[in-house]
Structure 1
């Protein structure tokens, strides 16, 4: 209850701050996650849109501030990649914020569940190649995203974009994967590859039509070509995992183009 009122106070502070101390106008609140709140802004003169991301009031402890500032720092290091462009940063009260460019597109989550878009096997392979190419560049910068879910991959006019680096971290070269059953939060490239595997399944399920009432495995339901099934199983660490994004991308490029069933 205390945090509810505190967050309400910070929302009012944020609106006042935007109006009085920036060159932007508040359009709407885009959304909020566990750590931050995102606001859509528009520049008063140029009319260009931007996003202000602020740390939530219940996350003002030092560890959360450090994670938030790390996200901002990582974003600044990736300006050559298709990620939001860093503009400025500051504090609203005790809450840090940063301003970044707005990517005018839609997430794969929206495409699948709201727009009812479907993705064939060939579509999925093509999109995943593009995604892995960017993941490869992330890893070359010694950064692992750790949250490559369908709400965090956008389609824009100029291609794919990756957003929300709130869980991103530097790769731990000494991290031991042995015995790790769920690597999605590991500070290791396999974390992003594991997420890419689930990303592919979401796309492939967009054309799935249930045939039986009894729940079965994705392997049984999707009935994918054997090579593609094995490829996804390697991403999901069911079979021997890929060691890095370069290896995963090369393997995907070598898969033959399948005819649709």
Structure 2
């Protein structure tokens, strides 16, 4: 515990941080664009080429090296796909006090930014289209034995109507024990519910403390679909086994 406290304290030491204006492999850091559990994310530029530079927290690479190893292996597997919807791993860097990864830059805005800052609202037909795009990406990842485990609004980038999926820090190789495809299906359901709430009218007082499936205005088919994704009322709502099953239901014309 003492060691962990020291590691956390060291995170506030400036020498363990990158700073705007620093140069990493000829890329100058011009903007911090995010911070997560395992590090900070910066926008870097070299002439006209933009990249993403992810600085790992000292605690992450000293206390959880196996997680960093998993992320690196996953990134290399994804890079081999040469699929523009996923991050392209460009390499890693190791300085005296700082380590991290370099990725290509994805044009567009995160769904989180669009919802929270630009106040964009998505209705059922658009949500359905997003879900279908996410399923297409999951089909590719699952075929490579990868489960993403973090399909959230900050990690989905929208550009000209097309989604990209970023941040594979929690991704793992599927073992059908702890890491299963149904984890990604749960996150898909959570993503859909999240977007539905942004166009949701305030509930009557009698529903304020009720769960989402009591509050949201959903048809019986939509409710059944989301409960299957979210593993709610499992005895009467069997889980989805494959991406194809989910896609077929979305294309049935009865959902969203």
State TM-score, norm by structure 1: 0.84
Bigger shift: 150-159 or 226-235?
150-159
User: How much does 1:16 deviate?
Assistant: 9.7
Q: Is the 8 A contact 1:228 1:255 kept in 2?
A: no
Q: Which string of whole-angstrom CA distances, capped at 9 and with x for unpartnered residues, describes residues 24-56 of structure 1? A: 11102222211122121001x3x1111111210
Q: Is the 8 A contact 1:75 1:83 kept in 2?
A: no
User: How much does 1:157 deviate?
Assistant: 2.8
Q: Kindly tell me: are residues 211 and 18 of structure 1, through their superposed partners in 2, closer, same or farther at Cα, counting changes over 3 Å?
A: closer
Q: CA RMSD in A?
A: 2.2
User: How much does 1:103 deviate?
Assistant: 1.3
Q: Is the 8 A contact 1:18 1:26 kept in 2?
A: yes
Is 2:131 the partner of 1:137? no
Q: Which string of whole-angstrom CA distances, capped at 9 and with x for unpartnered residues, describes residues 216-244 of structure 1? A: 23223222121111111110011211012
Partner SS for 1:52: strand
Partner SS for 1:210: coil
Partner SS for 1:83: coil
Following superposition of structure 1 onto structure 2, how do residues 119-138 of structure 1 map, counting pairs within 5 Å? Answer: 119-138=122-141
Query: In the alignment, which residue of structure 2 is the partner of 1:189?
Result: 181
Equivalent-residue separation in structure 2 for 1:78 and 1:104 (angstroms): 18
Partner SS for 1:118: coil
Query: In the alignment, which residue of structure 1 is the partner of 2:54?
Result: 53
Which consecutive residues of structure 1, in runs of 5 or more, have no partner in the other structure?
176-185
Q: Is the 8 A contact 1:60 1:95 kept in 2?
A: no
User: How much does 1:108 deviate?
Assistant: 1.6
Q: Flag as ranges the 4+ runs of structure 1 deviating above 6 A.
A: none
Q: Is the 8 A contact 2:51 2:104 kept in 1?
A: yes
Query: In the alignment, which residue of structure 2 is the partner of 1:225?
Result: 219
User: How much does 1:158 deviate?
Assistant: 6.3
Alignment equivalent of 2:238, drawn from 214, 232, 240: 240
State TM-score, norm by structure 2: 0.86
Which consecutive residues of structure 2, in runs of 5 or more, have no partner in the other structure?
none
Q: Kindly tell me: are residues 17 and 155 of structure 1, through their superposed partners in 2, closer, same or farther at Cα, counting changes over 3 Å?
A: closer
Q: Kindly tell me: are residues 211 and 33 of structure 1, through their superposed partners in 2, closer, same or farther at Cα, counting changes over 3 Å?
A: closer
Q: Which string of whole-angstrom CA distances, capped at 9 and with x for unpartnered residues, describes residues 101-158 of structure 1? A: 1112212222222222111111111110111111111111100001111111111236
